[in-house]
């Protein structure tokens, strides 16, 4: 792959360790040809600003997106099939993870642990492709719905955003919406109800193996920090359909868009619960390797299997280097390779990545929740940065996730590098009536903590005042 000239396209940037990054790369590779219509290995994760950024062959990514949308959206009868497969794979992943966590793992042999680890990985790899596929479908169908509104109402019509907000309101509630509803009732809830809520949602911060679930005290503070009221729905979905005089075909697009927004959040619920319950297995393996949960998340699958088969450990120095940043990619034999430290510079050069950030005079993005606001910038690149957020600040992040919500509700405005009109940031911002601009690509690179900015989400422009 390194010898090919590839037009790299940055797709996501996340706070992932090696273990989950491998799963992410494998889920679009030939290992998942059972569901991915155009699998490919021209993918690489590289360290950027303390996170791992995923770059893919732009041409192959676009062809994959085109094929997935053709199969599941353009051929209308197939979306329900995708929905069914998606939910089934997610539930099976959680089921296996829970079954493993309920076992008395410390009494099992390494051979028995290996069998459970392979089972957990297999179910994870069965589910993970749906994360990418839903990501692709969601963006496509949301844009398709927006185009219908523009065509029917005309460019610039003020009703477009009002209708769009209703159309993209999920038809069911995933955890990120449920926990917001819960926060509104929190002050009136008895301690028993609060404890039940904690047990239901404590897994939310588990984005990766090394991310700890909420402690009860943390969860209670998180919920107490909410200060929002439920907005009355001004326009129902059926009213929108009537006012638009939507055809059967148009209604189907809107129906899929609404359902897709729910599945977009549900995919994260499945993944994080799978990680949460899977932590018991990784903790036991890590204990036998004389390392901790965070350290084992920076091991490759083959390295864990080698220990469970032959007792061979990875040097802690290698793990520490990976924790500083790593490159993970498929070599010419389609084998996943992880490199760190001095090796990274030459690999980046071979792949055609240039060093340095582009300096631009202004920041533009997609208007996801209308309005204008100003304030001091708080950059959130990792979960640990959330504690920096203060009331009235402008939250600037690569993307947002369910465990960001208490920080988001403090914000006067939200700016993200990733995402579209149905991203987590967009949906939550619309619920909270906070101006939001998504898909800026460069916000965390240009802005810094303490900058004073004006966010014009009506125009999708961020102006640096000081």
Predicted local distance difference test score (pLDDT) of residue 153: 93
Predicted local distance difference test score (pLDDT) of residue 231: 57
Token pair belonging to 42: 């021209």
Predicted local distance difference test score (pLDDT) of residue 228: 58
- Evaluate whether 200 touches 269 at the Cβ level (below 8 Å): no
C-alpha gyration radius of the chain: 22
Query: Could you list the pLDDT tens digit for every one of the 466 residues in the chain?
Result: 544 578 999 999 988 999 999 999 999 999 999 999 999 999 999 998 888 999 999 999 999 999 999 999 887 668 999 999 999 999 999 999 999 999 999 999 999 999 999 999 999 999 999 999 999 999 899 999 999 999 999 988 888 888 988 998 887 899 988 888 888 888 899 999 999 999 999 999 999 999 999 999 989 988 876 655 555 567 899 999 999 999 999 999 999 999 999 998 899 999 999 999 999 999 999 999 999 999 999 999 999 999 999 999 999 999 999 999 999 999 999 999 999 988 888 888 888 886 544 444 578 999 989 899 999 999 998 888 888 999 999 999 999 988 888 789 899 999 999 888 888 888 888 878 899 999 998 898 889 999 999 999 999 999 988 7
Predicted local distance difference test score (pLDDT) of residue 40: 97
- 280: nearest Cα among 94, 93, 95, 105: 105
- 110: nearest Cα among 283, 304, 309: 309
DSSP track, 172-240: S--HHHHHHHHHHHGGG--HHHHHHHHHHHTTTT-SSTTSPPPPHHHHHHHHHT----PPPPSS-HHHH
Predicted local distance difference test score (pLDDT) of residue 358: 45
Predicted local distance difference test score (pLDDT) of residue 356: 45
How many C-beta atoms lie closer than 10 Å to residue 227's C-beta? 11
Hey, what's the torsion of the CAs at 85, 89, 90, 93, to 10 degrees? 180
Four-way CATH pick for 363-464: 2.40.70.10, 3.40.630.40, 3.50.30.10, 3.40.1390.30: 3.50.30.10
Local structure of 418: helix, strand or coil = coil
Domain limits of the chain? 8-137+267-351, 142-260, 363-464
- Evaluate whether 405 touches 178 at the Cβ level (below 8 Å): no
Predicted local distance difference test score (pLDDT) of residue 327: 96
Predicted local distance difference test score (pLDDT) of residue 126: 97
Bridge-based pairing of strands 436-438 and 413-416 is parallel
Predicted local distance difference test score (pLDDT) of residue 233: 60
Predicted local distance difference test score (pLDDT) of residue 119: 98
């Amino acid at each position: 792959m390194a010898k090919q000239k590839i037009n790299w396209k940055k797709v996501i940037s996340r706070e992932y360790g090696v273990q989950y990054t491998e799963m992410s790369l494998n889920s679009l590779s030939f290992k998942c040809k059972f569901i991915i219509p155009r699998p490919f290995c021209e993918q690489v994760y590289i360290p950027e600003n303390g996170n791992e950024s995923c770059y893919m062959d732009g041409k192959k990514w676009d062809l994959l997106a085109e094929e997935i949308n053709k199969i599941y959206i353009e051929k209308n009868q197939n979306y329900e099939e995708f929905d069914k497969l998606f939910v089934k794979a997610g539930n099976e992943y959680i089921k296996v993870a829970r079954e493993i966590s309920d076992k008395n793992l410390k009494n099992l042999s390494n051979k028995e642990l290996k069998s459970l680890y392979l089972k957990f990985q297999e179910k994870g790899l069965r589910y993970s492709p749906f994360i990418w596929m839903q990501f692709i479908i969601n963006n496509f169908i949301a844009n398709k719905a927006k185009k219908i509104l523009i065509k029917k109402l005309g460019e610039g019509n003020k009703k477009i955003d009002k209708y769009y907000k209703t159309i993209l309101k999920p038809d069911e509630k995933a955890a990120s919406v449920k926990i917001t509803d819960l926060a509104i009732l929190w002050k009136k809830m008895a301690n028993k109800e609060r404890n039940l809520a904690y047990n239901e949602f404590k897994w939310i911060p588990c984005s990766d193996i090394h991310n700890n679930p909420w402690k009860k005290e943390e969860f209670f503070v998180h919920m107490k920090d909410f200060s929002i009221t439920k907005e009355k729905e001004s326009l129902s979905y059926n009213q929108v359909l009537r006012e638009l005089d939507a055809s059967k075909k148009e209604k189907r697009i809107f129906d899929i868009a609404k359902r897709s927004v729910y599945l977009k959040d549900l995919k994260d619920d499945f993944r994080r619960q799978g990680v949460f319950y899977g932590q018991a297995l990784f903790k036991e393996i890590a204990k036998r390797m004389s390392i901790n949960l965070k350290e084992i998340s920076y091991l490759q699958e083959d390295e864990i299997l080698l220990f469970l088969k032959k007792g061979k450990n990875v040097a802690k120095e290698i793990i520490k280097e990976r924790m500083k940043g790593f490159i993970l990619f498929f070599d010419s034999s389609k084998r996943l390779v992880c490199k760190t430290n001095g090796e990274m510079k030459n690999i980046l050069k071979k792949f055609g990545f240039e060093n340095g950030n582009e300096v631009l005079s202004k920041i533009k993005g997609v208007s996801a929740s209308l309005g204008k606001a100003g304030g001091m910038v708080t950059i959130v690149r990792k979960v640990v940065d959330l504690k920096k957020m203060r009331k009235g600040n402008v939250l600037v992040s690569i993307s947002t996730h369910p465990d960001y919500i208490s920080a988001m509700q403090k914000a006067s405005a939200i700016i993200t590098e990733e995402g579209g009109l149905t991203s987590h940031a967009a949906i939550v911002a619309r619920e909270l009536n906070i101006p939001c601009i998504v898909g800026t690509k460069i916000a965390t690179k240009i802005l810094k903590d303490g900058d004073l900015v004006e966010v014009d989400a009506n125009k999708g422009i961020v102006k640096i005042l000081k």
